[in-house]
Amino acid sequence: LFPPFQMVLQMEVVEFTPYVFQLLAQILEFRPEGAGLGEAYTSLFAPLLTPLLWERRGNVPALTRLLTAYLAKGASEIVLQLEGMLGVFQKLISSKANEAYAFDLLRGIVIYMSQEKVLPYMKQIFQILMMKLQAGKTPKYVGLVTHFFALFIGKFGSQVYMDQLNALQPGLGLMLMTQVWIPRLQQFSPTRLEAKTQVVGLTKLLCETPALLSDPNGQQIWGQALACAVKIVCSPESHLNSLSAEGNDDDVEIGYDATFSLLHFATRPSRDPFPEIADASTSLIQGVGLVSSSSPGQLTPILAQCLQDPKLRSGFDTLCQKAGVQL
């Protein structure tokens, strides 16, 4: 298939290039784990970062998916192109129409690239995210950025997240919790893969940030974060353990426009960023149990305050019973 694909790309047949990128992505996604990229895909990668390709709106969804497939199947082989990929991210995030694809790419980088390769660029990335948040706090952007916060913490840890943000502005990590992240989760419960990602990220935040419990303000934030996690776990709408392709929100948004049409049989398979965590709800409760045992009695008044809603309290108690945790 590569020769006809290459002909379409070389001749710049713009009507067909989005379909070619989708098919290239699907073929790569089905490549066996550990097989690497192969010569054809390796030689194709650098040209995919050409700015002109990303100028055409119809290319963006499929190209983003293709770059994510490259990361999933051969991140170590394209690590030298990380700056080029971050250049693409910066271009996409500047456009409201393409911000969802910018986060698709950024999540792929965080999931598949090693921490030591990604961290040197994170200060600049967080600066870009904060500037856009300051410029316009739309519900869609808040959803995307808080999803990324949870993923980042799940992969790299709570302390790294706090250190990165506080390096930009002292106290920024907690300010975002109280003004952006927690309010979003209080108003809207995420579903499927994002629901699991939020629970995993919040669990690490609750269990790896002991400084939160050192003063009343921090304790209030800790309690609110726990309440948000319990709300997600107990909500039947969250479909926490469902990872079906039908729940892949990224493809649902694409639909059809004059320049891009999603190939029906080329839908993207759902990829769990935390396959090592079989049950995020049990992990949450076990983590809270460890925090409680390390500071006996400290959590009792916090839990009483943050779980005043009878449904949340009942759900939390059921989770504790199921996980065999006594607080």
% the chain with pLDDT above 90: 66
Q: Where are the beta strands (DSSP E) in 133-280?
A: none
pLDDT higher at 225 or 34: 225
The C-alpha angle 94, 136, 146, rounded to 5 degrees, equals 85
* Structure-derived torsion over alpha carbons of residues 89, 91, 97, 103, reported in degrees to the nearest 10: 10
Q: What is the pLDDT of residues 118-167, one digit of tens each?
A: 999 999 999 999 999 998 889 999 999 999 999 999 999 999 999 999 99
pLDDT value of residue 226: 96
Place of tokens 């990590």: 173
Q: What is the pLDDT of residues 165-223, one digit of tens each?
A: 999 999 999 999 999 999 999 999 898 899 999 999 999 999 999 888 988 999 999 99
At 267, the pLDDT band (50, 70, 90 cuts) reads: low
Contact 299, 327 (CB under 8 A): yes
At 297, the pLDDT band (50, 70, 90 cuts) reads: confident
Over range 297-304, report the average pLDDT: 90
pLDDT value of residue 56: 87
At 298, the pLDDT band (50, 70, 90 cuts) reads: confident
The neighbour count for residue 269, using CB atoms within 10 Å, is 12
Residues of 202-226 as b/e, b for ≥16 C-beta within 10 angstroms?
A: bbbbbbbbeebbeeeebbebbbbbb
At 2, the pLDDT band (50, 70, 90 cuts) reads: low
pTM more than 0.75: yes
d(CA 180, CA 18): 35
d(CA 99, CA 148): 12
pLDDT value of residue 124: 95
The neighbour count for residue 55, using CB atoms within 10 Å, is 10
pLDDT value of residue 285: 95
